[in-house]
A and B are shown apart, each in its own frame.
Chain A
Amino acid sequence: MARRGLPIEVRGLIKQYGATRAVDDLSFTVEPGKVTGFLGPNGAGKTTTLRSLLGLIRPTAGSATIGGQRYAELDSPLTTVGAALEANSFHPSRSGRAHLAIQAKAAGVPAARVDEVLLRVGLAEAGSRKVGGYSLGMRQRLGLAGALLGDPAVLVLDEPINGLDPEGIRWMRSFLKVLAEEGRTVLISSHLLSEVQQTVDELVIIAKGRLAYQGDLAGLAGETTVTVDAPRRAELQAALAPHATVQPLPNGLAVVGLDAEQVGAHAFAAGIPLSALATTASGLEDVFLSLVTGEHTTTATEGAGR
């Protein structure tokens, strides 16, 4: 069933714990129909932000809304937003099915949904076993089943890929894509870019409680450096200097501002035969790391890819 998702809007969110500011004037928007990754190192304020959005934490200032409403104002929270939080724990002596049945009763969701979602996350057989005997991967699936219980327009999942085995990761990735294709708003958090890189369409990166980047993956890609060398290195440097930033290296020249093809063309035009030509892209993970550690200031491309 195609669902029309609702946007998540975080505006000027602040959460102060004593002297520390866990979330510091954070604003971003999450659109329906896409998988959005919410990234940042541990302690960056991801969980605090998500818990504020879900009405579990009272923000010091600002707002976090779903379709313009605070979580507590939603008429039917579980059928609007499905959430699975990392610390979302289960009583070990209850079965997965009993846990879901309790949630279904509390939310007024028909009891038949319990078996439907258990089937959908692949826990149909394990559902009647006690959660105490579940693996981390099974708990993640149970958390996801709980999030899906009300067939919600919005899904908020904290570290859903954490602890899954390779098969489970592949399953979760395709599952999240399907959910977004159904038109839902899907927000997943992670502290590793590589974990969600293949899953997300959009990124929100925070560091020290502040927004570090919002946009698509392509916008995050770092500058590429072309390494080039020629027996007549000085002449090559002179030929490239008007077109790009050129710096001498022990084994050649580092060129920023041109791609390899353009560097080759300039050298050819100047009649300089090359002895080496290579492209080094700084990896997404490097850019991500430099963003969140603050060693590298990249301007957040607001609304890129939209």
Chain B
Amino acid sequence: MTLIRSISAESAKLFTLKTWWILLLVMVGYVGFTAALFAVIFSGLLGGVQPLEGAAAAQAVYSAGSTIGYAFPVLVGAFLVTAEFRHGTLTPTFLATPSRGAVLGAKAIVAALIGAVFGFGMLLASVLPGAAILGATGNETALGDSDVWALFARTVLAMAIWAVLGLGLGSVFRNQVIVIVVVLAFTQFLEPILRVVLSFTDVSASFGQFLPGAASDALVGSGFMSMMMTGGAGPAGLDWWQGGLVLAGIAAVLVLIGALTTWRRDVD
């Protein structure tokens, strides 16, 4: 009962602020533009050598969102915690729900749900322009392909996990600005470099596949970066379910650290 009430309150907190849809709009614009660009390149409109063709090209276009857009669900998840610290609203939150575990559990569930919404959003943003361009240029859209629909479903799942991971980050760091810096620095800079560097030798590559972005690509089953690195053969290494477990494991560890530190602190 407490958990259900808490979920209702937490979702009301999210939807009474503009943050979520501003992030969603920015993500849709960013992903839509990038997916359209990929589609133009893969469709051969610009001439030259097509790096990917056929169903693989379509999958790379459709996974543009999960490749570049996952920082957005991470931030939405993180803000569920950092906004409370920033405005001191944990006091009324814990007054209404003294069970802190219930509050954290409710936030994790709301994070997963809003993450899934972001997953749908990024799919719409990549599939609509991507399929339109591929189709119009006579390339394969692969929309009848069951593998592609599995990719869609796993994209939604991956974004739900990313949002929970963000909740964990928010619980560990507490400060909104620090979380934004950490998320952007890691997802846009540090991890891409690490993935490339670690892929140089077989030994380091076996560590590289446990990076959250690599695990996410494995879960989704396609990723622009993985494809470029493996020459279009699709992500090597982890199976999709292994990638899912790695990503979920990272999220769980972060939430657990937050639960044992931040969530046990005095609120003053």
Contacts and interface: CB of A to CB of B under 8 A. Distances in A.
Contact of B17 (A85, A94, A103, A107): A94
A106 B97 contact: yes
Most A CB within 10 A of own CB, among B5, B18, B88, B96: B96
Contact of A56 (B6, B89, B91): B91
Interface string A79-121: 0000101011111111100110111011110000000000000
Most A CB within 10 A of own CB, among B93, B99, B267: B267
B5 A106 contact: yes
B187 to A, nearest CB: 26
Interface stretch (B7-15, B44-52, B154-162): B7-15
Given A58-B266, A83-B95, A88-B92, A106 B17 contact: no
A98 B16 contact: yes
B146 to A, nearest CB: 41
B94 interface: yes
A213 interface: no
A141 B16 CA distance: 21
A95 to B, nearest CB: 8
Interface stretch (A46-54, A180-188, A272-280, A296-304): A46-54
B249 interface: no
Contacts of A94: 16-17
A94 B88 CA distance: 13
A92 B87 contact: yes
Interface in B1-58: 1, 5-6, 8-9, 12-13, 16-18
B12 A108 contact: no
A51 B266 contact: yes
B259 interface: no
Contact of B12 (A77, A85, A105): A105
Contact of A89 (B17, B88, B96, B268): B88
Contacts of A91: 17, 83, 87, 89
A74 B89 contact: no
Given A57-B266, A91-B17, A98-B16, A107 B94 contact: no
B5 A107 contact: yes
Interface in B43-85: 83
Nearest to B99: A72
A58 B91 CA distance: 14
Contact of B18 (A83, A93, A105): A93
B84 to A, nearest CB: 9
A21 B12 CA distance: 39
Contacts of B8: 105-106
Contact of B9 (A56, A87, A88, A103): A103
Contacts of B83: 91
B13 A88 contact: no
Contacts of A77: 95-98
B267 A57 contact: yes
Contacts of B1: 108
A283 interface: no
A248 interface: no
A108 B102 CA distance: 14
A106 B87 contact: no
Contacts of A105: 5, 8-9, 12
Given A56-B268, A57-B266, A87 B93 contact: no
Contact of B267 (A56, A92, A95): A56
Interface string B232-247: 0000000000000000
A72 B88 CA distance: 20
A146 B89 CA distance: 13
A145 B88 CA distance: 18
Contacts of B89: 89-91
B8 to A, nearest CB: 4
A82 to B, nearest CB: 9
Contact of A102 (B12, B94, B99): B12
Nearest to A48: B268
A78 B6 CA distance: 13
B6 to A, nearest CB: 6
Contacts of B16: 94-95, 98, 101-102
Interface of B: 1, 5-6, 8-9, 12-13, 16-18, 83, 87-89, 91-99, 266-268
Given A94-B16, A94-B17, 16 more contacts: A47-B268, A51-B267, A54-B95, A56-B91, A57-B267, A72-B98, A87-B268, A88-B88, A89-B88, A90-B89, A91-B17, A91-B83, A93-B17, A101-B12, A102-B13, A105-B9
10 contacts: A48-B268, A56-B94, A56-B95, A89-B89, A90-B92, A91-B83, A98-B16, A102-B9, A102-B16, A146-B92
Closest 9 CB pairs of A and B: A106-B9, A106-B96, A89-B88, A56-B267, A105-B9, A57-B266, A72-B98, A98-B16, A105-B8
